[in-house]
Amino acid sequence: MSSQPTARTAAAKASDFPTGVALLRDPTLNKGTAFTMAERNALGLRGLLPPHVFSQDEQVQRVLKNLRVLPNDLDKYVNLNALHDRNEALFFRVLTDHPDEMMPIVYTPTVGLACQQFGLIFQRPRGIFIGANDRGQVASLLRNWPYKDVKIIVVTDGERILGLGDLGANGMGIPVGKLSLYVACAGVHPNQCLPVMLDVGTENEALLNDPLYVGLRQKRVRGPAYDELIDEFLMAAQDVFPGVVIQFEDFANVNAFRLLHKYRERICTFNDDMQGTAGVVLAGLLSALRITGGKLTGQKILFLGAGEAATGISDLVVSAMVEQGLPRDEARRHCWLVDSRGLVVKSRTDLAEHKRPYAQDFSFLPDFPSAVEALKPTAIIGVAAVANTFTQPVLEAMARFNQRPIVFALSNPTSKSECTAEEAYRWTGGRGIFACGSPFDPVTVNGQTFVPRQGNNSYIFPGVGLGTIACGARHVTDEMFSAAAWALTRQVTEADIAQGSLYPALSRIQEVSAHIATAVAKVAYDKGLATKPKPADLSAHVSAQMYDPRYRSYVQNL
């Protein structure tokens, strides 16, 4: 496994290796009180640190003790960011050793509040900000990034952050958080990860009037000027970082579908909100069917929402049904969408292009509860970011129609969840099969304790990214996400299923991501999409790529 230090630290006596205060101020190299006496003598650190040498394990305990006394998760988020700014290896060691506790802080649900408060809590820039006023200079901005071996870029324009809407440049918290998960969940090296914010303005009046707002104070650039900036960025990224994978994140529907369609065959790119979400939901459905005993082709799935997530999930579910023998048109009749105006049916004349493949030949129904009663679905999936929409009547209806109703309340942050875990289990009499977008505590109903787990994209996209890096994939295909979903569900144990958990424990996330990465790379090699020679042992090759945040000595042969 690769580890900290990086290649430039291979010899501590190299003339360009920092020493003294410069070393302590470099978060990629700093070990703080864990520098050994030999390192302190060789690197000019004597007297700059307290005399006792701590192990990294002891440093982790100090971090946890300080973190756990803080009054709220936003303070914990700021505290962890400060740790990242001074000691990168220790930050990722804390994340990888304690994923259940740390991931809700560094990503959902806390990252949503962090984005809302971004101007207030901003301490140190992380990533590249590209503004609408930087047209013609994007490549030079990317070359300002100090690390040249970038393999993954997560990019957003901040228009649709989680379920919170247009947060403009404050949305930078999302790619920063996503790339932290690439490292913590899949062992992608931090130096290979680059967060990018495309700041084209915002329609959020509160931000435009906020004196602490960090972004351009203008309305959003749209039309040809927007497209030209996107194109310049994507082409510049390929030039500056050849072969880099571009992950689109939290773009509004108006841009997300067309950008993915435009570029997916030209560069190595994917949209996590569409394809990553689809992969994790398909895996959850496959796990749920281990409980119900049903077949995927026998499900009727009703979505609350008809945007990127709902249509992306539907597309992947349809592909999986086609693989199992259904004609595509028939498979589409198993997926039903409800948007803000009602059931998506053929008689409607107001449907956007991405909804039309799922417009059913059925009577119009005005809302989600009426659709549930009329359609009697086997599964309901909430991805509309509208809180409290899986009401008691809806869940009780699902329990009438199904011995084991499947209920996925996937909107995040927690304030946008369609229902809580407690509601999902109690209002179905303990028969509901539940997955969530934000974390919920275990629930005991009728003497049985259920352990809900997040249907979070962090189960899928880090492994997909690692797999594309390991094989040098030219494109990211739907088949890769299907393979990722099957690989994920195979990692769900019988013990997980027995307690109602549709996903593996987060404590196993790096192991799980390695399996997913191997499955993704195998598809790339099988389909001729890999640019690197195929190794004899693909699984071992993938594992060898993974970053280990444990300290290594900087001083050799002392």
Catalytic machinery residues: 107, 178
Q: Are 215 and 202 in contact (CB under 8 A)?
A: yes
Residue carrying the six token digits 């505590």 = 441
Q: Which of 485, 462, 539, 460 is nearest to 151 (CA)?
A: 462
Which run of H or E residues covers position 248? strand 245-248
Give the DSSP letter string of 107-148: STTHHHHHHHTHHHH--S--SEEEEGGGTT-HHHHHHTSS-S
**Do strands 269-271 and 245-248 pair parallel, antiparallel, or not at all (unpaired)?**
parallel
Q: Are 383 and 307 in contact (CB under 8 A)?
A: yes
Q: How many CA atoms lie within 13 A of 110 on its CB side?
A: 18
Q: How many CA atoms lie within 13 A of 245 on its CB side?
A: 30
Helix (H, G, I), strand (E, B) or coil at 184: helix
Q: With left for phi above 0 and alpha for psi between -120 and 50, is residue 359 left, alpha or beta?
A: beta
Helix (H, G, I), strand (E, B) or coil at 516: helix
Q: Token digits for 380?
A: 């309901």
Classify each residue of 240-260 as buried b or exposed e, where b means 16 or more C-beta atoms within 10 Å of its C-beta: bbebbbbbbbbbbbebbbebb
Q: Quote the DSSP letter at residue 530.
A: B
**Do strands 193-199 and 245-248 pair parallel, antiparallel, or not at all (unpaired)?**
unpaired
- Give me Rg for the CA atoms of the chain: 24
Q: Are 111 and 414 in contact (CB under 8 A)?
A: no
Cα–Cα distance measured from residue 212 to residue 170, given in angstroms and rounded to the nearest whole number: 11
CA angle 234, 484, 102 (to 5 degrees): 80
Cα–Cα distance measured from residue 183 to residue 28, given in angstroms and rounded to the nearest whole number: 14
Spell out where 278-432 has E strands: 301-304, 335-339, 342-343, 379-382, 406-409
* Residues contacting residue 307 through CB under 8 Å, at least 6 positions apart: 253, 339, 354, 383, 384
Q: Quote the DSSP letter at residue 532.
A: S
Q: Distances in Å between the alpha carbon of 304 and those of 173, 367, 396, 507?
A: 27, 9, 17, 31
* Whether the bond into 442 is cis, omega within 30 of 0: no
Residue carrying the six token digits 């799922």 = 358
